[in-house]
Structure 1
Amino acid sequence: MTHSLRFFSLLGLFGLLGAGQSRAQSGPYASMPARPAAAVSTPAAAPAPPMVPAAPTINPDSVFINPEVRPQFVGGDKAFKAYLAKSIRYPQQALQRHVSGRVLVNFVLNAQGRVTDAHVISGPGSGLNDEALRLVWLMPPWEPARSNGQPVRVACTVPIAFSADR
């Protein structure tokens, strides 16, 4: 009989300990960190090498608007203006009507720096829009845009100015 009484007393003690543990996890001290166990000295392990994030893969169909490195006409802005001055053919219809103005052409440069998907956003018409598109389609390849060191497709808009006074 004494053995069974002792058994029930131990069982009750474990029950109280378990109830106290669950209360501590849900009571006012639940958000406090647990106390660390006694420190055991173990030999220090070598630190793990720093994690170097892998460069994200770039979908070849993506068209960037603001890449890390912008595309550039080979030779820069000065060479771009020289290309336009050399290649422009002022439309006869625009000359007769004394039409001048600025044509905004939007296009996508592919990863090789070649023009694709060119279209006029705005322009005065009278043949100037068509001439601006012709100039953009015939441009030599640009230095492509880059993201994470990889050449990428990028959306570009260039203004092409026409002056009937020339």
Structure 2
Amino acid sequence: MMHSLRYLSLASLIGLLATGQGHAQAGATASLQTGPATVSVAPPLPAVLKAVVSAPAFSPDSVFINPEVRPQFVGGDKAFAAYLAKSIRYPQVALQRRISGKVYVNFILSAQGKVTDAHVISGPGNGLNDEALRLVWLMPPWEPARVNGQPVRVACTIPIAFSADR
């Protein structure tokens, strides 16, 4: 039984290849004579193949690292700096100890531009890490990243600088 299934599959595959080859020989390509060289011109793709070729080659659950169009805080870098300046609450412990530094926060930005899965990669601690995380979670939606013109999820890491000398 198993042997006949393999034979049937092989016969079907050969039949498909032969059919495709027969169509190719029946005029699927045109040749142009241009002196000593011949140029072959392939026919346009069938509509079914065009749909497959133009469809995105990624899952909606994909997370990009370097998309074609990078995400952007609405209003750009100046608006991001203004958001941080307005929203930051310097932790009292860090102020008393005069602790400054950068906190690096990693997060996934959804295709809708919203923060998900945020966590601190590194920072000086003493409340600064928690404050940076709070600021990231409360950010307004960003302009999302894009691949093939479609919004996609993207991994982001941003530094948030704290200065006790302000």
TM-score by length of 2: 0.69
1:66-85, aligned counterparts within 5 Å? Answer: 66-85=66-85
CA displacement at 1:55 relative to structure 2: 3.2
* Cα deviation digits, residues 26-54 of structure 1 (max 9, x gap): xxxxxxxxxxxxxxxxxx9x973367532
* Cα deviation digits, residues 40-74 of structure 1 (max 9, x gap): xxxx9x97336753232431111000001000000
Aligned residues: 122
Aligned partner letter, 1:49:
P
What SS does the aligned partner of 1:85 have? Answer: helix
| Alignment RMSD | 1.9
Task: Tell me how far apart the structure 1 counterparts of residues 65 and 116 of structure 2 sit (CA, whole Å).
Answer: 15
* Equivalent residue number for residue 110 of structure 1: 110
* Unmatched 5+ stretches in structure 1: 1-43
* Cα deviation digits, residues 116-139 of structure 1 (max 9, x gap): 000000000000000000000000
Preserved contact between residue 55 and residue 148 of structure 1 (Cα < 8 Å): no
* Equivalent residue number for residue 4 of structure 1: none
* Unmatched 5+ stretches in structure 2: 1-31, 33-40
Higher share in helix: 2
* Equivalent residue number for residue 151 of structure 2: 151
* Equivalent residue number for residue 128 of structure 1: 128
* Equivalent residue number for residue 37 of structure 2: none
What SS does the aligned partner of 1:129 have? Answer: helix
* Cα deviation digits, residues 90-129 of structure 1 (max 9, x gap): 0001001110100000000000000000000000000000
Structure 1 runs (4+) deviating above 2 angstroms are: 46-53, 55-58
Aligned partner letter, 1:48:
P
Task: Tell me how far apart the structure 2 counterparts of residues 160 and 54 of structure 1 sit (CA, whole Å).
Answer: 39
TM-score by length of 1: 0.69
1:1-150, aligned counterparts within 5 Å? Answer: 48-49=43-44, 53-150=53-150
Question: Percent of aligned positions with the same letter in both sequences?
Answer: 80
What SS does the aligned partner of 1:132 have? Answer: helix
Shift of the 162–49 alpha-carbon distance from structure 1 to 2, 3 Å rule, reads: same
Task: Tell me how far apart the structure 1 counterparts of residues 115 and 54 of structure 2 sit (CA, whole Å).
Answer: 30
